[in-house]
Homo-oligomer: A and B are copies of this chain.
Amino acid sequence: MLPRIVDGASLLFGIVGDPVAQVRSPPLWSALFRRNGINAVCVPFHVHPPAFAGFISGLRAAENVLGLFVTIPHKIAAAKYAGALTERARKVGTANILRPLPDGRWEGDIADGVGFVLALRASGQRIEGRRAIVVGAGGVGSAIAFALAEAGVASVALSDVDQNRAKALAQRIAVMTGVPSTVVPARAEGFDLIVNASPLGMRAGDAMPLDLAGLTAEAIVGDVVISATLTPVLEAARARGCHVQPGSAMTDHQVAPVAAFLGLETGDWGPAAVREALGE
Instruction: Decide if B62 touches A46 in the complex (CB within 8 Å).
Output: yes
Residue tally, chain A, CB below 8 Å to B: 50
Render A5-28 as a binary contact track against B, CB cut-off 8 A, 1 for contact: 111111010011000111111110
A50: nearest chain-B partner, CB-CB? B61
A280: nearest chain-B partner, CB-CB? B1
Q: Taking A1-B279, A44-B64, A61-B54 as contacts, is the C-beta distance between A10 and B31 under 8 angstroms?
A: no
State the number of copies, please. Answer: 2
Interface on chain A toward B: helix, strand, loop, or mixed SS?
A: mixed
Instruction: Decide if A63 touches B46 in the complex (CB within 8 Å).
Output: yes
Q: Cα distance A96–B26 when bound, in Å?
A: 27
The answer to the question of A261 belonging to the interface, with a C-beta cut-off of 8 Å to chain B, is no
Instruction: Decide if B12 touches A31 in the complex (CB within 8 Å).
Output: no
Instruction: Decide if A21 touches B2 in the complex (CB within 8 Å).
Output: no
The answer to the question of A56 belonging to the interface, with a C-beta cut-off of 8 Å to chain B, is yes
Q: Taking A6-B26, A24-B8, A277-B2 as contacts, is the C-beta distance between A61 and B44 under 8 angstroms?
A: no
Instruction: Decide if B20 touches A4 in the complex (CB within 8 Å).
Output: no
Q: Taking A21-B8, A61-B52 as contacts, is the C-beta distance between A31 and B46 under 8 angstroms?
A: no
Residues of B within 8 A of A2 (CB): 30-31, 34-35, 277, 279
Q: Taking A55-B62, A64-B20 as contacts, is the C-beta distance between A43 and B1 under 8 angstroms?
A: no
Q: Taking A8-B23, A21-B9, A25-B8 as contacts, is the C-beta distance between A46 and B64 under 8 angstroms?
A: yes
Instruction: Decide if B8 touches A20 in the complex (CB within 8 Å).
Output: yes
Instruction: Decide if A8 touches B44 in the complex (CB within 8 Å).
Output: yes
Q: Cα distance A150–B211 when bound, in Å?
A: 75
- With A5-B5, A8-B44 already in contact, 19 other A-B pairs whose C-beta atoms are closer than 8 Å: A1-B31, A3-B5, A4-B31, A5-B6, A6-B26, A6-B44, A8-B15, A8-B23, A8-B24, A10-B26, A10-B44, A16-B62, A41-B43, A43-B43, A45-B62, A47-B61, A48-B63, A55-B58, A59-B59
| Contact surface of A with B, Cβ cutoff 8 Å | 1-10, 12, 15-16, 20-27, 30-31, 34-35, 41-48, 51-52, 54-65, 277-279
7 smallest CB-CB distances across A and B, nearest first, come from A58-B58, A1-B279, A51-B61, A8-B23, A55-B61, A9-B21, A46-B63
28 A-B pairs within 8 Å (CB atoms) are namely A1-B278, A1-B279, A2-B34, A2-B277, A2-B279, A4-B31, A5-B30, A6-B44, A7-B27, A7-B44, A8-B15, A8-B20, A8-B21, A8-B22, A8-B23, A8-B26, A10-B44, A20-B64, A41-B41, A45-B65, A46-B63, A47-B62, A54-B57, A54-B58, A55-B59, A55-B62, A58-B58, A58-B61
